[in-house]
Amino acid sequence: MKKKIAILGSTGSIGKSSINILKKDKKNFEIILLTTNSNYKELLKQVKDFKVRNIIINNLKNYLILKKKLKNKKINVFNNFDLFNKKFNSKIDLTISAISGLDGLKPTLDIIQFSKKIAIANKESIICAWNLIQKKIKKYKSEFIPIDSEHFSIRELLNEKKNNIEEVIITASGGPFLNLPFKNFEKIKPKNAIKHPNWKMGSKISVDSATLMNKVFEVIEAQRIFNININKFKIYIHPKSYVHAVIKFNNGLTKILVHDTSMTIPIFNIIYDKADKSIITKKIDFSIINNLNFQEPNKIKFPSLKLLNKFSSKISLYDTVLVAANDELVYLFLKGQIKFTEISIILKKILELKEFSKYKQIIPTNYEQIYKLSRYVRLKTFSLSVLSQKC
């Protein structure tokens, strides 16, 4: 029997990597659902390749284009998840949730009820609404697996020994500006910030990697997923991105997990899940292992790392303030409206506003609450960063 798969965000980097794995073994998989925000041309290729019967495209203009193109086909074309939910009533073996940003939260929450197993690559959703995701997972008896290489690696290393952990190290490549003198940071342009030295990623996450904000997110995300005290996490620079996680246990053992800089590896292992399948990868690179070059990050060059001190092991709406403000600031930087160095400076100011401090004590209870706060924070961030400069 074919394994039923759904991919949310199938035209993004994680989605495409998943598609490429499935292409090599079509006889064993059936893609039930594919979604995209606006890239209908890429989606159409995937639909034809796998004979997919259900698709969601959020952008209204492109939805209408695709609807017209497929009007004589036996394909259900939806404009949102609400319409899909009303018509779909079967179970999916594995859902890969790879929609970036908080736009991925509602689709993730909606698809859990149909998913036997859900693999999530959307760190913003986990940071802001892990308690809501957990509630749905328990209600519908779904299994959760993290896709991000660091969190996938921690999961592989843990082996149910959470109570024996002394320290968890998450590695960072340092991004494209690791060796750039700090005095030159003000001159950084978007085209340079999106050129990650090791990974092929979207523009937004590439900027987060360049500021190391991505590592702040990953620590908070890992704390939520594994329920480990946030103070046990450490971030170290490892320029080659060969080691993805290190865990030191209190029995004296230390475990590390290494793999090539390709998201294909964790995705492959999630799709096949202990099945007798192999993937062709490079040989072990002992030149890297012999010179791992771990180093503590420079918090003057990467001040976003200091923001971790403002967060605890307790989930709250303050997490949404962090994610939404950073999203807006990265967007403004990519549009050339603020400087690279202003991302962390303005983010710190936003987090220190009195009107947002109250959210540290408020636990999110529903998606709408997170969505409304996110929109308000983005507007506030825009007004503080761009409008104030024009005055």
Instruction: Give the Cα separation of 322 and 340 in Å (integer).
Output: 17
For residue 245, the cross-strand partners are 170, 257
Domain ranges of the chain: 3-147, 152-313, 315-391
Strands 94-97 and 76-78: unpaired
Under CATH, what is the fold of the domain 315-391?
Answer: Rna Polymerase Sigma Factor; Chain: A (1.10.1740)
Rounded (10°) angle between helices 340-351 and 213-226: 50
Q: Encode pLDDT of 207-263 as tens digits.
A: 999 999 999 999 999 999 999 999 999 999 999 999 999 999 999 999 999 999 889
More confident residue, 350 or 84: 350
Instruction: Give the Cα separation of 261 and 275 in Å (integer).
Output: 23
Please report which confidence band the pLDDT of residue 333 belongs to, taking 50, 70 and 90 as the band edges.
very high
Write down the pLDDT at residue 388. Answer: 61
For the chain, the straight-line distance linking the first and the last C-alpha, in angstroms and rounded, comes to 64
Domain 3-147 belongs in CATH node 3.40.50.720: yes
For residue 172, the cross-strand partners are 237
More confident residue, 71 or 317: 317
Instruction: Give the Cα separation of 388 and 318 in Å (integer).
Output: 24
- CB atoms under 10 Å from CB of 60, counted, come to 11
Q: Which class for 47: exposed (0-12), middle (13-18), buried (19 or more C-beta within 10 A)?
A: buried
Write down the pLDDT at residue 161. Answer: 64
Residues near 247 by Cβ (< 8 Å), separated by ≥ 6? 154, 157, 158, 165, 167, 168, 169, 254, 255, 256
Residues near 22 by Cβ (< 8 Å), separated by ≥ 6? 5, 29, 31, 50, 271
Q: Encode pLDDT of 109-139 as tens digits.
A: 999 999 999 999 999 999 999 999 999 999 9
Write down the pLDDT at residue 178. Answer: 92
